[in-house]
Amino acid sequence: MPALLLVLAALLFIAWLLSQPYRLARKRQKIQAQPFPADWRAILKRRVPYVRAMPADLQLQLKKHIQVFLAEKAFIGCGGLAMTDDIRVTVAAQACLLLLNRPGGYYPQLRQILVYPGGFVVQRAHTDGSGILHQGHQALSGESWSDGQVILSWQDTLAGAASPHDGQNVVIHEFAHQLDQETGAANGAPALARREHYARWAEVLGAEFNALQGRAVQAQASLFSDYGATDPAEFFAVVSEVFFEQPQRMADEHPHLYRELSQLYRLDPLSW
C-alpha cells in the first residue's frame, strides 16, 4: 500500500507539472478578459504618446499584455521612490511593445523591476591593457540582469516615453536585453522564429555592427548611438530602440537591418 501511494503521488505531481502551461494560459486569459482600468488608460494617454499612433488592434493587444505583465511582475521603488501605477503602467507599456504579435511568455526569466528616481551608480571592474584590475563607479539609466531583474531610472524612463521619435528609449533598450538573455548570456542573438533565420541574422547584424564600430572609431555620424559599438548585445538593444522610434530612417538607411528586426518583432512600424 505505501508503494502504491507513492506511485499515485508521483503521478499526481507529474500531472500537475504537465498542466502548468494550461493553467497559466487560463489565468492569463482571465486577466485579459477584465476591463482595462480607466486610470491606466489615462496614464497611457498622458505618459506614452507612442501608443496613440499604433493601429487600434495593436493598441488593444498592448493593453492586454500590460494587464498580464503588471499581474505577474513585481515592481520595487528604490532610492526613496514610492511605487505608483503611474510608474508601473508607463514602464509596462514600453516593455510590452516588444511582445506584440510574438508568441511565448512575458519575459519568463524576469521577476522584478527596480526603479530609481534618477540615474543610479553601480560598481564596475575592468582590466586594463597591462592586466591590472581596476574598480570604478559608473552612472547608469538602466540595466538588465540575467538573474531576473531590470533596473531603471524613472527620470530617463519618462524622457524616453515623452520623446517617441528620438531613437532613445531606456525601457526598450533594457527589455531587448531581456529577450536576448532568454537564450543565455546576452550576445545579440535572441530567439528567432526558425533555425534557418540565424544565418541571415548573423550576416546582417554582424556587418552592421562592424560598420558602426568603424564609424565610431572615425567619429563619423550615424543613425545609431556609438554605445551600440560596445558589443553585439548592446548593438541589438540600440537598434531595437531605433526600430521602434525611427523606423523610416532605419528602413531608408539600413533596409536589410530593418527587415531582420521587423521579422523578429513581427511588426512593421512604417505602416503606423
Last residue of a domain, one of 135, 165, 195: 165
155 and 197 share a domain? no
37 and 155 share a domain? yes
45 and 161 share a domain? yes
Domain count across the chain: 2
Residues with Cβ within 8 Å of residue 198, at least 6 apart in sequence: 189, 192
Last residue of a domain, one of 165, 196, 212: 165
Q: Is residue 23 part of a domain?
A: no
155 and 212 share a domain? no
CATH number where 109 lies: 1.10.472.150
Distance CA 12, CA 127 (A): 53
Q: Is residue 182 part of a domain?
A: no
Q: Is residue 20 part of a domain?
A: no
Beta strand 133-140 pairing with 120-127: antiparallel
Q: Are 107 and 95 in contact (CB under 8 A)?
A: yes
146 and 223 share a domain? no
38 and 149 share a domain? yes
Q: Are 117 and 81 in contact (CB under 8 A)?
A: yes
Q: Is residue 52 part of a domain?
A: yes
210 and 242 share a domain? yes
**Residue 12's pLDDT is what?**
45
81 and 146 share a domain? yes
Q: Is residue 68 part of a domain?
A: yes
Q: Are 191 and 182 in contact (CB under 8 A)?
A: yes
Counting residues of the chain whose pLDDT is more than 70, the rounded percentage is 85
Per-residue model confidence as pLDDT tens digits over 238-252: 999 999 999 999 999
Counting residues of the chain whose pLDDT is more than 90, the rounded percentage is 77
Q: 3-state SS string over 202-263?
A: HHHHHHHHHHHHHHHHCCCCCCCCHHHHCCHHHHHHHHHHHHHHCHHHHHHHCHHHHHHHHH
Whether residue 104 is predicted with pLDDT greater than 90 in this model: the reply is: no
Q: Is residue 116 part of a domain?
A: yes
Q: Is residue 24 part of a domain?
A: no
152 and 225 share a domain? no
Range of the domain at 191: 187-272
203 and 139 share a domain? no
Per-residue model confidence as pLDDT tens digits over 167-210: 999 999 999 999 999 988 899 999 998 999 999 999 999 999 99
124 and 225 share a domain? no
Q: Is residue 156 part of a domain?
A: yes
Distance CA 163, CA 157 (A): 10
CATH number where 256 lies: 3.40.390.10
228 and 133 share a domain? no
Among 12, 48, 44, 19, smallest CA distance to 244 is for: 48
**Residue 136's pLDDT is what?**
54
Give strand pairing partners of 74: 112
Among 182, 155, 183, smallest CA distance to 171 is for: 155
Per-residue model confidence as pLDDT tens digits over 67-82: 999 999 999 999 999 9
Whether residue 260 is predicted with pLDDT greater than 90 in this model: the reply is: yes
**Residue 9's pLDDT is what?**
46
Q: Are 90 and 47 in contact (CB under 8 A)?
A: yes
Last residue of a domain, one of 132, 165, 198: 165
For residue 182, how many C-alpha atoms fall within 13 Å in the half-sphere facing its CB? 15
